Amino acid sequence: MQPTEQQQLPANNETLSNDLLLDMYRSMILVRHFDRRAVHLQRTGRLGTYAPLEGQEAAQVGCGYALQKHDWLFPTYREHGVSIVHGMPMETIFLYWNGRPEGCVPPEGVNIFPVSVPIATQVPHAVGAAWAAKLKGENQIAVGFLGDGATSEGDFHEAMNFAGVFKLPVIIFCQNNGYAISVPLSKQTAVETLVEKAAGYGVEGVRVDGNDIVAVYEAVSHAAEKARRGDGPTFIEAVTYRYGSHTTADEHSRYREAAEVEAWKAKDPIDRLKTVLIERGVWSDEQDAAEWERVDGLVQSAIDSMQATPPVPHDRLFEYSYAELPQELVEQRDEMRELYGKGGAK
Amino acid sequence: MAKMTILQAITDGLRVALREDERVLVLGEDVGVNGGVFRATDGLQGEFGPHRVVDTPLAEAGIIGSSVGLAVNGMRPIPEIQFFGFIYPAMEQIVAHAARVRMRSQGRFSCPMVIRAPYGAGIRAPELHGDSPEAFFVHQPGIKVVCPSNPYDAKGLLLAAIDDPDPVLFLEPLRMYRAFREEVPEGRYTVELGKANVVKPGKDVSVFAWGTMLRVALEAAKSAAEKGLDVEVVDLRTLSPLDRETIAASVKKTGRAVVVHEAPKSAGVGAEIASVIQDEAFLYLEAPVMRVAGYDTPQPLFSLEDIYAPDAKRILHGIDKAMNF
């Protein structure tokens, strides 16, 4: 897949305040640094398999900034960026990728559903949550995230149809990064753009340059305002690219050329916003260097917390399998304790 | 003879089938250019072309549903589900269609396909990459379920499954994919479906297992031997249909049985094996049939997976309970 210039909404940088742009810029740097550190932790045996997002920062951070605190996110396994912006502590995300059950738990008041691993399965959930918000008369919207490959799954189509039929306050936010693991978009679908699919469900479709954070922010803001007005769902296709592999267990050089990756890096979302900020006279290379150092402290502190977390207590295997543990499971738990001890902190 | 891992033996089996039979095609997510996420189909698209080793869209129901149509219309599809825990969107196609085509059409149509899926936990993978839902499929009449535990069986069972006139779910123990090598004959040979294998004869207690758990059971048998117990280890190899004869013969000899699986205990395949034993060898039993299985909780995230799946210690605990009843 080659970078595209096509977009429907103009990235009108004049409309957003310097403060907002600076905030979003700092968040993109934080997310990129978080991501790079996570990959490094995996490579050095301190984190499990991890799904990197580098290259998709504008799509995720821009989306996150256009939402309100009480809105719902239904993420895939690659939504670390938008999750951080929406209030998920980085430490929690690290714990998730270390196979820890605590890693699925957002803080109180943060409406982020646990990561859905099976593809597209979370999109109907977003639709349902939006339905509930509508029924309760709350001014709340839900965002269902998915990738390009997920548009091939039945759950996506069923969710789009429900969203349209019930005119729900939901945004179905697709980051088209060009690949479903190794399979390029051209083998995923016979249409040129994913946004075309929205028409089949009577859902408004918007296609944006996902590496232009202003375009993403404006598209999501527009969709969110529309949803809150009661004017129904929007499907957003944010065209972007993942620089790295699908996960740390994947090797992307097996299925695409380095030149393609480099071509996308020339459209880097962070570089683009930095250029704008420097042109506006509100940012400098010195400030930039200082900011990268600042976020390193934040990410390091999250890593320290993750590493200081005591080993998982073995009872966690059984806790929360039901509200009240059935007797058979109580017996299994007791046998487990007998065989393996309590785990947890020494 | 070349020494191969289970993974290489599977690739070799697929290559044999693709060479021998033009009707055979391999399809699934990332099976082509990428050679599969575990490399089980590595090199096959290069050798046989993109029309026989096909990267499909990301859609499990589509992969299995279109395989039903391919099979009904004369092809021999070998669809891959990337991880067994990703098979759920295809449940309807398997349960409502693949398994019923022969009966529904009263033999006019059939559905010869082999659904391959890496199976089981133990490799520190993310959620739903380690599920063991084999019992759902063993419960469904009309489809066979096979699970090899070693490279020789992997290739031989795979080729037998491809020859089989009915749909077969072929489960590949992913923790064992690259764990060890064994000699695997070149070219075609088959291992008959529906036949268990007494891997280690013994006289005191029978341990029934398959896939990854077979290796763990052998480890437990070795430890038990140090305590003077002579454990018979039986590799079921096919979970549906079960080899009732071999199961019964083993229990009639030892009088005690332990069934091991990674899947949750309740209503697992172990329960069916226990039932076969009481049907066929009731009067020979010296103790109740013990089940050593995953706990009745969802497969946990990987920080807890080591205490979830049975290990040698837990199997020994089950053996002790069977011996000291």
List, in order, residues 6 or more apart from B160 with CB less than 8 Å away: B190, B191, B192, B193
| Contact criterion met (CB < 8 Å) for B307 and A101 | no
pLDDT tens for residues A186-218? 999 999 999 999 999 999 999 999 999 999 999
Shortest Cα–Cα distance, A186 to chain B (Å)? 10
| Contact criterion met (CB < 8 Å) for B295 and A100 | no
**Residue of A50, A96, A102, A152 best to disrupt the B interface, most CBs of B under 10 A:** A152
Residue tagged 């575990």 (tokens)? B38
- Which pLDDT band holds residue A10 (cuts at 50, 70, 90)? very low
Interface membership of A154 toward B (CB under 8 Å): yes
Chain A residues within 8 A of B296 when measuring between CB atoms: 321, 328-329, 332
Chain B residues within 8 A of A189 when measuring between CB atoms: 57
B308 with A315: CB under 8 angstroms?
no
A211 with A240: CB under 8 angstroms?
yes
The predicted pLDDT at position B260 comes to 98
- Which pLDDT band holds residue A9 (cuts at 50, 70, 90)? very low
Query: What is the spatial distance between Cα A50 and Cα A38, in angstroms, rounded to a whole number?
Result: 7
Query: What is the spatial distance between Cα B60 and Cα B87, in angstroms, rounded to a whole number?
Result: 7
- Which pLDDT band holds residue A43 (cuts at 50, 70, 90)? very high
B54 with B30: CB under 8 angstroms?
no
Structure tokens at B105: 């059409």
Structure tokens at B63: 């992969």
Low-confidence stretches of chain B (pLDDT beneath 70): none
Residue A112's alpha-carbon distances to A88, A224, B65, B162, in angstroms, are: 8, 17, 33, 45
**pLDDT of A14 strictly over 90:** no
Neighbours of A261 (CB within 10 A): 16
**pLDDT of A13 strictly over 70:** no
Chain B residues within 8 A of A316 when measuring between CB atoms: 300, 304
- Which pLDDT band holds residue A6 (cuts at 50, 70, 90)? very low
Instruction: Find residues 46-75 of chain A whose CB sits inside 8 Å of chain B.
Output: 48-49
Stretch A132-138: mean pLDDT: 96
- Which pLDDT band holds residue A307 (cuts at 50, 70, 90)? very high
Chain A residues within 8 A of B128 when measuring between CB atoms: 117-118
**Residue of B307, B313, B320 best to disrupt the A interface, most CBs of A under 10 A:** B307
A126 with A170: CB under 8 angstroms?
yes
Chain B residues within 8 A of A150 when measuring between CB atoms: 58
Quick one: DSSP state of residue A112?
Answer: B
Q: What is the DSSP string of B121-140?
A: --S---TTSS---HHHHHTS
**pLDDT of A8 strictly over 50:** no
**Residue of A255, A327, A334 best to disrupt the B interface, most CBs of B under 10 A:** A255
Query: What is the spatial distance between Cα B104 and Cα B241, in angstroms, rounded to a whole number?
Result: 20
Beta bridge partners of B3: B183
Instruction: Find residues 181-240 of chain A whose CB sits inside 8 Å of chain B.
Output: 181-183, 187-189
B185 with B9: CB under 8 angstroms?
no
Size of interface A-B (CB pairs under 8 A): 120
Shortest Cα–Cα distance, B107 to chain A (Å)? 30
Query: What is the spatial distance between Cα A203 and Cα A180, in angstroms, rounded to a whole number?
Result: 24
CATH for the stretch A13-309 = 3.40.50.970
Residues, chain B: 325
**Residue of A77, A80, A113, A119 best to disrupt the B interface, most CBs of B under 10 A:** A119
- Which of A153, A317, A329 is closest, CB to CB, to B304? A317
Quick one: DSSP state of residue A45?
Answer: T
Chain B residues within 8 A of A250 when measuring between CB atoms: 37
| Contact criterion met (CB < 8 Å) for A49 and B125 | yes
B98 with B53: CB under 8 angstroms?
no
Instruction: Find residues 324-343 of chain A whose CB sits inside 8 Å of chain B.
Output: 328-329, 332-333, 336, 339-340, 343
The predicted pLDDT at position A2 comes to 55
Query: What is the spatial distance between Cα A311 and Cα A193, in angstroms, rounded to a whole number?
Result: 46
- Which of B126, B301, B302 is closest, CB to CB, to A77? B126
Interface membership of A346 toward B (CB under 8 Å): no
Sign of the alpha-carbon torsion through A260, A266, A272, A274 = positive
Torsion region of B3: left, alpha or beta (phi above 0 gives left; psi -120 to 50 gives alpha) = beta
List, in order, residues 6 or more apart from B108 with CB less than 8 Å away: none
Residue of B nearest to A320 (CA): B297
pLDDT tens for residues A148-172? 999 999 999 999 999 999 999 999 9
| Contact criterion met (CB < 8 Å) for A329 and B265 | no
- The residues of A carrying an active-site annotation are 242, 246, 255
| Contact criterion met (CB < 8 Å) for A318 and B61 | no
Query: What is the spatial distance between Cα A31 and Cα B300, in angstroms, rounded to a whole number?
Result: 28
Q: Which is higher by pLDDT, A8 or A240?
A: A240
Cα angle B79, B128, A248 (rounded to 5 degrees) comes to 90
| Contact criterion met (CB < 8 Å) for B59 and A153 | yes
Shortest Cα–Cα distance, A319 to chain B (Å)? 9
| Contact criterion met (CB < 8 Å) for A153 and B266 | no
| Contact criterion met (CB < 8 Å) for B303 and A99 | yes
Query: What is the spatial distance between Cα B311 and Cα B295, in angstroms, rounded to a whole number?
Result: 13
> H or E segment at B292?
strand B290-294
Residue A242's alpha-carbon distances to A32, A40, A214, A245, B224, in angstroms, are: 12, 17, 19, 7, 51
| Integer Rg of chain A from CA | 21
Shortest Cα–Cα distance, A281 to chain B (Å)? 45
List of domains in chain B: 2-184 (3.40.50.970), 197-323 (3.40.50.920)
**pLDDT of A346 strictly over 80:** no
| Contact criterion met (CB < 8 Å) for A49 and B126 | yes
The predicted pLDDT at position B14 comes to 98
| Contact criterion met (CB < 8 Å) for B29 and A329 | no
The predicted pLDDT at position A5 comes to 46
- Which pLDDT band holds residue A15 (cuts at 50, 70, 90)? confident
pLDDT tens for residues B98-148? 999 999 999 999 999 999 999 999 999 999 999 999 999 999 999 999 999
Query: What is the spatial distance between Cα B249 and Cα B324, in angstroms, rounded to a whole number?
Result: 22
List, in order, residues 6 or more apart from A213 with CB less than 8 Å away: A24, A28, A57, A58, A61, A62, A269, A272, A273
Pairing of strands A234-239, A170-176: parallel
Domain ranges of chain A: 13-309, 311-346
3-state secondary structure of B209: strand
Query: What is the spatial distance between Cα B169 and Cα B167, in angstroms, rounded to a whole number?
Result: 7
Torsion region of B36: left, alpha or beta (phi above 0 gives left; psi -120 to 50 gives alpha) = left
Query: What is the spatial distance between Cα B45 and Cα B58, in angstroms, rounded to a whole number?
Result: 18
Chain B residues within 8 A of A342 when measuring between CB atoms: none
Residue tagged 């299985």 (tokens)? B293
pLDDT tens for residues A243-266? 999 999 999 999 999 999 999 999
